[in-house]
Amino acid sequence: MWQDFGEYILSEVGDKKVTIAEIAVGKFDKISKMLESKENITLIKTDINPNDESIIKDDITNPNLELYENVDLIYSIRPPSELQPHLVNLAKEIDAELIIKPLTGEDLNTPRVRMELKNYNKASFYILK
């Protein structure tokens, strides 16, 4: 499933030079490692409590917009439901695509917008273009 999720993101960006932000990184790094291996992708990782020096401290409820200035795509893996509206707000503010991979069976908390359910091989997630 995780391989499929990462492959979907890679298929979306193709060979274009893009900046991607992973928000609320936590400790799961399988997708970020996949993306970081591509020369055309600049990856920004943020979390309110970074667990290493590669993650930038940022609070998505009051984001530092300068961090996301050139971001083309935002993704978040299993973000808490209370953060999901803030992810939508940021994506709209900076005009970026948003992908949320919630916990299996979890409903989204994005009342202002309808996100599209996407199934890609064994991965399922929501997108906002």
Band (pLDDT 50/70/90 cuts) for residue 113 is: confident
Q: Which residue has the tokens 């991965």?
A: 123
Give the span between the Cα atoms of 123 and 19, in whole angstroms.
Answer: 22
Q: What is the pLDDT of residues 37-58, one digit of tens each?
A: 999 999 999 999 998 999 999 9
Composition of the chain by helix, strand, coil, percent to 5: 25, 30, 45
Which of these, 95, 100, 89, lies nearest to 125 by C-alpha position? 100
Strand, coil or helix: 67 = helix
pLDDT of residue 28: 83
**pLDDT tens profile 67-76:** 999 999 999 9
Specify the CATH number for the domain of residue 123.
3.40.50.150
Per-residue pLDDT, 110: 82
Q: How far is CA 43 from CA 74, 76, 98, 111, in A?
A: 10, 13, 14, 28
Q: In whole angstroms, what separates CA 95 from the centre of its chain? A: 14
The C-alpha atoms of residue 69 and residue 94 are separated, in whole angstroms, by 7
Mean pLDDT score of the chain, rounded to an integer?
A: 92
Range of the domain at 108: 2-128
How much is the pLDDT for 115? 92
pLDDT of residue 107: 75
Could you tell me the pTM of the whole model? Answer: 0.93
Count structural domains, the chain. 1
